[in-house]
């Protein structure tokens, strides 16, 4: 039997990625939408052939037809909505970043564990063929012992005050580009190199006139001892998307990470170009298909809430480090 879903939040992600993936995935059935604006939920219900639309979250969570929810709301709502869904016995797949603070992430994990429901975070780039190939190469020892990694994601983002996405640059978002787009790259680093240990961070509002920082940098020591340098900005004229992993015997370059379906292996000789398959046309589909199939079979998600919290551990420690002027434990 397919997993019966409701989507909480009817913004761009739900409309362009999540709902289409659930319609396409044979292991999923899209039952309902929730929005604080009932007309929007009704519009999405009609567009994607769902049976129900709600503007009352308690009513949605009381619906016995709904087995799982995809939380597609802004991150300042993630914790409360996850905790309420777990209390209602619903499995949860939540948009990234996981929550605004590490404490909220921990509450989400605890609530789902107590209720005996699955929790996962929508870091869909873990399903990229490029990501899986990087993991394989590192585990096979192709670059020797991993020593360091570098990520840099940037571009210009300056929404108008009346833009409905302006919440992304307001204080309620909990951070800037590092939390928003940078979290995806930090999640990949944790997938490839393991858990974080300690972080030194720096944030600034150097060019933009909004509440969130527009430029953020951090240095992270992983439990393995590897060093990670990460930078994210919403104030640059160009949009770099750089990722490199360096080891004792070579380096892996996956730049731009969302670009060419290839990895460059660098060592003492000539560069070797390793071709990989491109990601799925709908990048959310492998994530949702995996979650639905595994949960329906009574298995845990391939990556659970603890996995999804790793990037938030780094980001939270980076913000605390900026405030304290000291290294902080991740």
Q: Where are the domains of the chain?
A: 3-123+283-303, 125-281+312-329
Backbone angles phi, psi at 180, to 5 degrees: -75, -75
The fraction of the chain above a pLDDT of 70, given in percent, is: 100
In angstroms, the CA 142 to CA 311 distance is 25
Of 220, 216, 218, give the one whose Cα is nearest residue 203.
216
- Greatest extent of the chain over all pairs of C-alpha atoms, in Å: 63
Confidence of residue 169 (pLDDT cuts 50, 70, 90): confident
Which CATH number is correct for 125-281+312-329, 3.30.360.10, 3.40.50.1220, 2.40.160.10, 3.30.460.80? Answer: 3.30.360.10
pLDDT of 184 higher than 90 = yes
pLDDT digits (tens, 9 = 90+) for 228-250: 999 999 999 999 999 999 999 99
State residue 224's pLDDT score.
97
State residue 95's pLDDT score.
97
Residue range 134-138: mean pLDDT, rounded: 98
State residue 269's pLDDT score.
86
Average pLDDT of the chain is 96
**Look-up of token digits 């975070």:** 121
In which region does residue 194 sit, left (phi positive, over 0), alpha (psi from -120 to 50) or beta (all else)?
left
Q: What is the CATH number of domain 3-123+283-303?
A: 3.40.50.720
pLDDT digits (tens, 9 = 90+) for 263-313: 999 998 899 999 999 999 999 999 999 999 999 999 999 999 999 999 999
Find all residues with CB under 8 Å of 316, minimum gap 6, and list them.
Answer: 101, 102, 330
pLDDT of 167 higher than 90 = no
The C-alpha torsion from 66 through 306 and 187 to 9, rounded to 10°, is 20
State residue 71's pLDDT score.
98
For the chain, the distance separating the N- and C-terminal CA atoms, rounded to the nearest angstrom, is: 40
């Amino acid at each position: 039997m397919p997993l019966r879903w409701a989507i909480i939040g009817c913004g761009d992600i739900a409309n362009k990625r999540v709902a289409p993936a659930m319609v396409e995935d044979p292991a999923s059935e899209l039952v309902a939408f929730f929005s604080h604006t009932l007309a929007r939920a009704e519009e999405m219900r009609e567009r994607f052939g769902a049976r129900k639309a709600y503007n009352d979250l308690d009513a949605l969570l009381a619906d016995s037809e709904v087995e799982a929810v995809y939380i597609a709301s802004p991150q300042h709502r993630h914790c409360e909505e996850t905790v309420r869904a777990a209390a209602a016995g619903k499995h949860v797949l939540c948009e990234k970043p996981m929550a605004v603070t590490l404490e909220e992430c921990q509450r989400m994990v605890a609530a789902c564990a107590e209720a005996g429901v699955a929790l996962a975070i929508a870091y869909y780039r873990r399903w990229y063929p490029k990501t899986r190939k990087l993991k394989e190469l590192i585990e096979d020892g192709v670059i020797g012992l991993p020593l360091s990694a570098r990520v840099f994601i940037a571009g210009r983002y300056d929404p108008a005050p009346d833009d409905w996405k302006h919440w992304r640059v307001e204080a309620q978002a909990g951070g800037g580009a590092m939390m928003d787009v940078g979290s995806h790259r930090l999640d990949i680093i944790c997938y490839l190199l393991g858990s974080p240990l300690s972080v030194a961070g720096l944030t600034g509002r150097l060019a933009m006139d909004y509440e969130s920082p527009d430029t953020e940098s951090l240095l992270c020591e992983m439990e393995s001892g590897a060093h990670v340098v990460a930078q994210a900005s919403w104030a640059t004229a160009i949009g770099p998307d750089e990722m490199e992993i360096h080891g004792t015997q070579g380096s892996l370059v996956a730049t731009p990470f969302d670009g060419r379906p290839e990895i460059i292996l660098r060592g003492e000789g000539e560069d070797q170009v390793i071709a990989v398959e491109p990601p799925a046309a709908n990048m959310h589909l492998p994530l949702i298909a995996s979650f639905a199939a595994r949960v329906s079979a009574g298995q845990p998600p391939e990556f659970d809430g603890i996995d999804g919290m790793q990037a938030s551990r780094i980001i939270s420690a980076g913000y605390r480090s900026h405030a304290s002027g000291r290294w902080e434990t991740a």
